[in-house]
Amino acid sequence: MKYYIIAGEASGDLHGSNLIKALKKEDASAEIRCWGGDLMQQAGGELAKHYKDMAFMGFLEVLMNIPTIFKNISYCKEDIQKFNPDQIIFIDFSGFNLRIAKWAKENGFKTNYYISPQIWASREGRIKKIKRDIDNMYVILPFEKDFYENKHGYPVEFVGHPLIDAIENTPLQDNETFRKENGLDPEKPIIALLPGSRKQEVQKMLDVMLSVKKDFPNYQFVIAGAPSLPNEFYTPFLKGDKVEFVTNKTYTLLKHSHAAMVTSGTATLETALFGIPQVVCYKGNWISYQIAKRIITLDYISLVNLIMKREVVKELIQNDLTAKNLKAELTKIVDGAERNRMLSDYKLLKEKLGGKGASEKAAQLIVKNA
């Protein structure tokens, strides 16, 4: 069969790549064309467009890039028609994907959604579009099945979280080799800085993250570079007090870290699955934040807290993200009772996520439901 997969950011590229591998195992004749990134291309997908050309963060940034977004939508429709797939698979990226799904359904294509749009967080009314336009939904968070089926009467399949497999399947360097190859102190414990994957995020996050470095002289701060950004982008942040930088090695960095400061997003869950105590950080464009605050109905922004339905990790959001607060919260998790409590909660979190095999389960269901 022919599959057309659409992912729009780094996390979608990761999960899309594992889905492609699983589809090729399940369907030996699979032809796959995709919107995604390097990982999906390396897994065997023919890349139609890279997510670097599509990732816009926040309401204001989206408004400023509307012409580009509409060009991408038009091109996507044309490309799907030309490829004529048996199955279209959407991965997260809801603003774009739900537009394409409406058109695809109207034009007789079979539609699948892997990794649900977060309609449980905001704009819940989008359930009408999903019911109308999506043939099969495969969810990765345990509370999503209850949300869709019991609240909205829309059957979905819970396949487990693909990060569990992604982490297990990623080869990681040992501690000594990793430190040596990246010029890190062989003895000092590492505090990892994960400032996000988009320029706007990194610019807002890194300054405040680095502002507490002087308060932790016995630790080395290491920035995780995002694959979507050139290394040169980080250069201004590496001046002054010695700060280390690694790129395309986030999982290895997390494995060998003692604690982390993490921009809200998928990385908060990745950090938890590696068992690294963290402080969750978020500061957005003021206008975008004011709009988001009025439409997002959740008590928390990090996946860790949402899945556990309570505060497991501290969230410093917008005006609360200050050097003073960050220092206080980081101090709590580098040693002591708060660190131990968080590590214990992480074990419960893993149990809730449903174990291994999400990509394989999703691929089997997509082929079965063709």
Whether residue 54 is predicted with pLDDT greater than 90 in this model: the reply is no
Q: Quick one: which H or E segment has residue 190?
A: strand 190-194
As a CATH number, domain 2-161+356-368 is 3.40.50.2000
Question: Could you tell me how many helices (H) and strands (E) the chain has, helices first?
Answer: 18, 13
Tens of pLDDT, residues 201-239: 788 899 999 999 999 999 999 999 988 789 999 998 887
Alpha-carbon span 252 to 176, nearest angstrom: 11
Q: Residue 17 contacts by C-beta under 8 Å, 6 or more apart in sequence?
A: 36, 39, 40, 42, 43, 45
Instruction: Locate 252 and state its tokens.
Output: 């290895």
Backbone dihedral region of 192: left (phi > 0), alpha (psi from -120 to 50 degrees) or beta? beta
Q: What is the pLDDT of residue 134?
A: 98
Whether residue 129 is predicted with pLDDT greater than 90 in this model: the reply is yes
Whether residue 263 is predicted with pLDDT greater than 80 in this model: the reply is yes
Tens of pLDDT, residues 309-368: 999 999 999 889 999 999 999 999 999 999 999 999 999 999 899 888 999 999 999 999
Across all residues in the chain, what is the average pLDDT? 91
Candidates 166, 123, 142, 136; CA nearest to 20 is: 166
- List, edge to edge, every strand of the sheet that includes 220-225: 244-247, 220-225, 190-194, 259-263, 278-282, 314-317
Could you tell me how far CA 7 lies from the centroid of its own chain? Answer: 11
Residue whose token pair is 């990060």? 163
Residue whose token pair is 């400023």? 64
CATH 3.30.360.10, applies to 168-352: no
Higher pLDDT, 121 or 268: 268
Alpha-carbon span 228 to 230, nearest angstrom: 7
Q: Kindly indicate the confidence band of residue 283, based on its pLDDT and cuts at 50, 70 and 90.
A: confident
Which residues of the chain form CATH 3.40.50.2000?
Answer: 2-161+356-368, 168-352
Q: Kindly indicate the confidence band of residue 301, based on its pLDDT and cuts at 50, 70 and 90.
A: confident
Alpha-carbon span 259 to 271, nearest angstrom: 9
Higher pLDDT, 273 or 55: 273
Residue whose token pair is 């996390």? 11
CB-based burial label for 157 (10 Å; 0-12, 13-18, 19+): middle
Tens of pLDDT, residues 71-114: 899 999 999 999 999 999 999 999 899 999 999 999 999 999 99
Q: What is the pLDDT of residue 292?
A: 52
Is this structure's pTM higher than 0.85? Answer: no
Q: What is the pLDDT of residue 96?
A: 92
Distances (CA, A) of 295 to 57, 123, 280, 290, 323: 16, 7, 21, 9, 28
Candidates 34, 162, 18, 11; CA nearest to 87 is: 34
Alpha-carbon span 8 to 28, nearest angstrom: 26
Q: Kindly indicate the confidence band of residue 158, based on its pLDDT and cuts at 50, 70 and 90.
A: very high
Q: What is the pLDDT of residue 262?
A: 97
